[in-house]
Structure formats: structure tokens, C-alpha cells
Amino acid sequence: MPTLTLHGARERLSQGESSESLVSKALDAAKSSTNGAFNTLDESRSLDRARELDKARKDGKSLGPLAGIPIAIKDNICTEGLRTTCGSKILDGFKPPYSATAVLRLESAGAILIGKTAMDEFGMGSTSESNAFGVVRNPADPTRTPGGSSGGSAVSVAEGIVPVALGSDTGGSIRLPASFCGVVGLKPTYGRVSRYGLIAYASSLDQIGPFASNVSDAAEILSLIAGADDRDNTSARLDVPDFTSALDQGVVGLRVGIPAEYWGEGLDPQVKAALEDGVRRLTDAGAIVVPVSLPSTKYAVSAYYIIAMAEASSNLSRFDGVRYTGRTKDAKSLLDMYSRTRSELFGQEVQRRILLGTFVLSSGYYDAYYAKAQRIRELIRREFQDAFRHCDLLAAPTAPTTAWKLGEKLEDPLAMYLSDIDTIAVNLAGLPGLVVPVSPVGGLPVGLQLIAPAFQESTLIRAGRALEKAGD
């Protein structure tokens, strides 16, 4: 289990430990880890920033709530002057000229970025094995995957290297690693957090969110990064509540929906028992269980992978070897340069998804695939709305099993796609989801997924904290 929290880091600083020491220990832990959480470390700048904050603290200056605390950022979120690769050879060496809004907001609160975390290439995967710079391993069992695509961020928190990290979630990429690694993962409502500076995979699905060792820390980070951004016209123009105020509200009278489609065939019996125990903790704390149905869930995988791959095909067309990417050597023509650059520097899974996405958008197939998938997406969204007329939130598995063995799903991409069945509908509907650890199974972490109506993250935090307290 993770050992470093925001409260613990602040306490160490208040007791006289320097930020330089805190950051130095985080860097040392990252370098000594054998689980491959980081693609890039930023030693020089992070230590310089720590010294600046130590001086400011000594001089009695007012500091932000995260002053001097090390954090990590997923490698598809832009950081000015720091290598940002999306886990791909095609962006190896790319240093953005600007930082993402979410990063700027954390840094303005005093957080110190120590590095960029490993991930599935361009977010396309559920295992973090397609990272071009090395496989990521699960701290609970290094022979197993940490989940993906934000595996490195989950591992950096699970190992106690940093108390919090940012990831992104397109179809479960925060929630699945949180479940597999035994940490808290929060996927906000689409539009709650600015996507400016997040390198796009599927623009209508992608969302930045935090990993943390507890619900309180996740709530605090969300409060800091949420809010409208003039540079992202998909960010919601809504006031941002203090999400930490929901932590102690309890769940007495809260209606928890149990969607039948998530709890049936394919769910490992031991995982199911652990998740049911988590639901019992909520009912023991005063929540009320309500049965609900989401019948179109069975179409979610097909609809998601058509929409996501179509958007990926469009978004990744910009990586062509002409501007800021890598480029093949000795190309004989412009067309040859395009073709060879993308063939040589994109990984196999990325190429597969680009090809499938291009196909479903092509003339003669658009209506048969993409347009139909969008209609199913709307149907799924409406079914969630109907379910929330009967309950305040939903409780569901995050994955049907515990973490898989490394390599287990690489030769069968369809099996990997189907493993997302419990998470992708949330992205299709643009809803918030929170994963909180429950009892492990066979020594491997398991996380219960809580889902709320759009922009009701406070309800998730309220229930997640009650679940956490009951587990304590």
C-alpha cells in the first residue's frame, strides 16, 4: 500500500524537513525502483525549485497548499521544457514550449514536478506494456501489469515515490491502474478539468484526473486543477466547489445503484465477493442499495472502440515527421518519408488503431460504423440518466479480475479491448468515476468503482471517503 500522503508530506515539512530533502528522496526512490514508473526524471529543475521554496519558507513568505511537495505527471501531459513522449518513439526528445493548464495549476500551488510517468503508447492500451521506453510492472506483483494506460502514475503513488500524480482517462486509463495497484483514482466529468496541454488520443473522451493514496488527497488535487479554461472550449463554465468539504458528509440515506449488467457473467467470483463486501461497508454506514439496469452496456465496447479509433486516426495524423516528431532516415520522397516515419516510429497497437479508425471513417463505411456508434453512445448516456433517477450513484466492478500477467493479452488485442467493459461506458457518457481499494484477492489489489451523474464529483468523494473509513 502507498506510504506517502499530502498530509504526511506537509507534516514532515512543518517539522523541519526541507523540501529539497523531500524531493531528493522522491528522486532516489524513482531511480531505485525496478517497476519502470518513469520515462523521464527532472532532477536539476525539481531540486532547484525545492531550494527556492525552502528559502521562501525560511523567509516567512506565503506559500501554496502543495508547496515543496513532489508530484508526477503522465507522459502525455505537456510540461514546458521537459521531454514529453506519450510513450512513443515518434516523440522521443520532444520538449513542449508550454505546460498543460492542469500542470500550471498544481505548480502555482507549489507542487514540484519530479518527472513524467510511463504509459501505453498514446494511451492506447490497458497494460502499460506498449510504452516504447520499457515495460511497467505492478508493485504488488512485478510479474503482473499495473493496468493502463496510466500505469506509471499509479505505480509512482503505489510505491510511495510521490503522494499524488496526474493521469488521463479515455476508457478507464485512470480507474483500471488504480484498481490493479491499490490506489485511489478519480476520473472527473468530461469538461471538469481543462484538456489544454493533454496530447489528444480521442478528444471527446479524454479527461485528466488524479491518482492519490487516499480519497482526501484526490479531492484536494481535483479542487486545484478543476475549472474553466479559455484555452479549452470543452472545459465547463461552472463554479468549482471545494471537493474536500464532502469528505465528512457520510452516506446516510445515499442511494447506491447496483447495475445488473456489471455484476454478472465474466466477473471473477473472488473479485465479486471483495466488491460486494465494499458495498456492504457503504450500507453499514447508512447507504441504501437500489437495483438498476443499463441494458445497452453490452454494446459499449463496440461503440467505444469505433469512436476512439476514429478520433485517434484524425488526431494522430499530425505526427508525420515534418514538424516536432522523429523522422525516418534516407526517405526517397515526401510520401515515402510520411509512410516510413509512421511505420517505423509508431508501435504496433497504435498502427492498428489508426488503421481501424481510418477504415470506419472511410466513404461507404461511415454510416455503418461511426454514425451508428454515436447513436449507441447517446443511448448509453440516456440510460445512465434514467438510472440516476432512482439512485445517487452507481457501484460497479472496475475490472472483472485482478491484474493480469505481463504478456497475457498482448497477442490477443480483442481480449484486451473486452477487459475495458466495466469502464468505457463512463467515458462515452462523460460521467465522473472514482475507484477506491477494497479487500485484496490473493494478495492482489481490487478497487470498487463508483459512478455519479455529471459534475457530481462531490457525491463520489463523499461515498469514497465513507468506504475508506469503513475499511480502516
Catalytic entry in 46, 99, 130, 149: 149
Catalytic entry in 88, 153, 173, 313: 173
> Residue 149 to residues 17, 146, 404, 439: CA-CA distances in angstroms?
34, 9, 14, 23
Catalytic entry in 19, 74, 313, 409: 74
Pick left, alpha or beta for residue 189 (phi over 0 → left; psi -120 to 50 → alpha; otherwise beta).
Answer: beta
Q: Using CA atoms, how far apart are residues 296 and 433, in angstroms rounded to an integer?
A: 19
Q: How far is CA 291 from the centre of its chain?
A: 28
For the chain, the C-alpha Rg in angstroms (whole number) is: 21
Active site residue 298: no
CB 446 within 8 A of CB 439: yes
Q: Using CA atoms, how far apart are residues 361 and 429, in angstroms rounded to an integer?
A: 21
Q: What is the DSSP letter of 466?
A: H
Residue 38: phi and psi, rounded to 5, are -115, 140
Active site residue 74: yes
388 burial level (CB within 10 Å; 0-12, 13-18, 19+):
buried
Q: What single-letter amino acid sits at 226?
A: A
Length of the chain: 472
Sorted by sequence, the CB contacts under 8 Å of residue 369 that are 6+ apart come out as: 306, 359, 360
Q: What is the DSSP letter of 277?
A: H
Q: Which residues are known catalytic residues? A: 74, 149, 173
